[in-house]
Amino acid sequence: MTQPQYDAIIIGGGAAGLSLALHLAQNAKIAVITKGPLREGATYYAQGGISAVLDAKDSVESHIEDTQRTGAGLCDPGVVRYTVEHGREAIQWLVECGVDFTTETAPDGSTHYHLTREGGHSHRRILHAADATGKEIQNSLVGQLKNHPNIDVLENHIVVDLITSKKLGQDENHCVGCYVLDREKQQVITLASRFTVLATGGAGKVYLYTSNPDVSTGDGIAMAWRAGCRVANMEFVQFHPTCLYHPKAKSFLITEAIRGEGGILRLPDGSRFMPNFHPDAELAPRDVVARAIDHEIKRLGIDCVYLDISHQAADFIRSHFPNVYTQCLEFGIDITREPIPVVPAAHYTCGGIMTNMTGQTDICCLYAIGETAFTGLHGANRMASNSLLECLVFAKAAAEDIAARIDEPYQAPSLPEWDASRVTQAPEEVVISHDWDELRRVMWDYVGIVRTDKRLQRALNRIQVLAREIDEYYTSHTVNNDSLELRNLVIVAELIVRSAIARKESRGLHYTLDYPEPISEKLQNTILTP
């Protein structure tokens, strides 16, 4: 069979991947690979919005200052400025793609975007489409992508691994393609490409409780690590403070914008507790709010706390938060009349694959953008709604870099086909399901919101045992979706734990009882090398 040859393969179909595809598709043949349907991913479920300086009372300098303060001293100043300064341009591009942001009418009759405020921000600068911003962005980008003559979309495909020239016996390490499992046909195909882009999102599924969709299994980070890329700051995992607590609710996030519009966190007796933890109370940075909720749950031995917006007018609530209102009502909770039971859950991976300002990784022709990448924007804690902005800004930067290199002389190598001659069909899947469950419980119990050296070492010991079991299973049996995701998750879990052990201080999202204070003279990123 003739191997498909592309100018660029983009692994992942969220805001980062689709934006890059659209920017690059005018003069390049592209494949977009998604594990599930094209609309399934973290972008689709993003409720809050995207941050950008549009209000005359706001400023680029204020957005930069807020981002750096929330990042607890570890943000890269040049990356922060570059991202923030390109915010207005990113918004304009989304509007041109058909994104319909929520507007409001001023007293003078003029119409402008409605801006809300979220944790860490000193101004209202969050553009949104009601409370389903990600869904609106995703649908608009998919609409632009459909039937594009230069873009092939491979839905329900999962990448098994990257193919590099070093794996083919050459000295220099270039990424030249990937092996991909067609989940419907259960066949592994070989795709060759001049450039490969990892836009696979985060790794929330490494934890037992997460706001992330099922596809967020750290695939890009694990593949890049196996190929030889460095990763950075994997210890900084953001836990969203408010996920719906209900036995039938799966990973449903309650947008931070509810707190931005006056929502109050209460204990079961109705008392407010956030003013005891931070002067900004409910609008404190996410790590502070999540840690406060975790503290109160453990202190009182309760299952959850409550987020109360019912003091606002019912019409206001239904118009501003129609998605949350409808979803909660399905579980018997009327948020116009009663508070919402909430708990923290793993939400965002601040660390990732190290890249430069154009998304290039340590391996030539391999790029990483979006949540899977470490750009230096978020530091030790991501500020709310900066993530979609990062996706858009770096997607364009990577597209421009690839476009500038695409006409360079290039001899496409002949890639070996996937060899499954020495493996057998697994007789039972219980090993996978058991290891999957144990890994996520170990991470939740020992590598969660509050950590200790003893918990981390216990986690590392068990993860390394699991890693050996999983590797033995992978090398002996035919690959399938679950085994591939688990193989990636156990790598990401070990990277998180090793990074957490290396940081002997508390900073941002990494809080340890053994080192409860930050160490100002040791301001550095945690970098791991394969």
Contact 20, 369 (CB under 8 A): yes
Q: CA-based Rg of the chain, rounded to a whole angstrom? A: 22
User: Tokens 């409550």 correspond to what residue?
Assistant: 306
State the Cα–Cα distance between residues 515 and 517, nearest whole angstrom: 6
pLDDT-wise least confident of 4-18, 249-263, 395-409 = 249-263
How does residue 238 score in pLDDT terms, banded at 50, 70 and 90?
very high
Instruction: Give the pLDDT mean for 267-296.
Output: 93
Task: Quote the DSSP letter at residue 520.
Answer: G
- CA dist., res. 144 & res. 471, Å (int): 40
Segment (H or E) for 223:
helix 219-227
The predicted model gives 105-123 an average pLDDT of: 88
HSE-CB at 67 with a 13 A cutoff on CA atoms is 30
How many alpha carbons fall within 13 Å on the CB side of residue 132? Answer: 15
Residue 172: the pLDDT is: 85
Share of the chain above pLDDT 90, in %: 80
User: Which residues contact residue 365 at a Cβ distance below 8 angstroms, ignoring those fewer than 6 apart?
Assistant: 174, 175, 176, 194, 195, 196
Whole-number pLDDT of residue 2: 65
The burial of 249, by beta-carbon neighbours within 10 Å (0-12 exposed, 13-18 middle, 19 or more buried), is given as middle
Give kind and range of the element (H or E) at residue 178: strand 175-182
- Rounded to two decimals, the pTM is 0.91
Sorted by where each starts, the structural domains of the chain and their CATH numbers stand as 242-344 (3.90.700.10), 430-519 (1.20.58.100)
Instruction: Give the list of residues 6+ apart from residue 113 with CB closer than 8 angstroms, or none.
Output: 54, 101, 102, 103, 104, 127
Residue 341 CA to residue 308 CA, distance in Å, equals: 9
**6 in Cβ contact with 151 (< 8 Å):** no
User: Is residue 522's pLDDT more than 80?
Assistant: no
* 345 within 8 A of 240, measured Cβ to Cβ: yes
Q: At what angle do helices 481-502 and 219-227 cross, to 10 degrees?
A: 80
Does residue 282 contact residue 265 with C-beta atoms inside 8 Å? Answer: yes
pLDDT at 92: 97
* Mean pLDDT of the chain, nearest integer: 93
Per-residue pLDDT tens for 130-164? 888 999 999 999 999 988 999 999 999 999 999 99
Q: What is the mean pLDDT of residues 211-233?
A: 96
Bin 284: left if φ > 0, else alpha if -120 < ψ < 50, else beta: beta
- Higher-pLDDT residue of 409 and 436 is 436
d(CA 211, CA 522): 32
Tell me the mean pLDDT in the region 9-30.
96
| Dihedral sign from CA coordinates of 40, 46, 51, 54 | positive
Which residue, 359, 356, 406, 372, is CA-closest to 30? 406
- Over residues 163-202, the pLDDT tens digits come to 999 988 888 899 999 999 999 999 999 999 999 999 999 9
Question: Looking at 117, 125, 259, 286, which residue is catalytic?
Answer: 286
Residue 1 pLDDT exceeds 60 = no
H-helix segments, 277-349: 286-300, 314-320, 322-330
Other Cβ atoms less than 10 A from the Cβ of 264: the count is 20
Residue 119 pLDDT > 90:
no
Res. 40: pLDDT tops 90: no
Pairing of strands 340-349, 157-164: unpaired
Supply the DSSP string of 341-410, one letter for each residue: EEEEEEEEE--EEE--TT-B-SSBTEEE-GGGEE-SSSTTSPPTTHHHHHHHHHHHHHHHHHHHHTTS--
The number of CA neighbours under 13 Å toward the Cβ of 245 is 18
The per-residue pLDDT for 16 is: 97
Strand partners, 305: 342
Above 60 in pLDDT, residue 352? yes
498 a catalytic residue: no
pLDDT at 408: 87
Note the pLDDT tens digit of each residue in 391-432: 999 999 999 999 999 988 888 888 999 988 888 888 777 888
* Amino acid, single-letter form, for residue 70: T
Host H or E run for residue 192? strand 187-198
Q: Is there a contact between 508 and 380 (Cβ–Cβ < 8 Å)? A: yes
Residue 27 has pLDDT above 90, yes or no: no
**pLDDT (tens digit per residue) in 283-335:** 988 888 999 999 999 899 998 999 999 999 999 999 999 999 999 999 999 99
Residue 249, token pair as written in the block: 């609710």
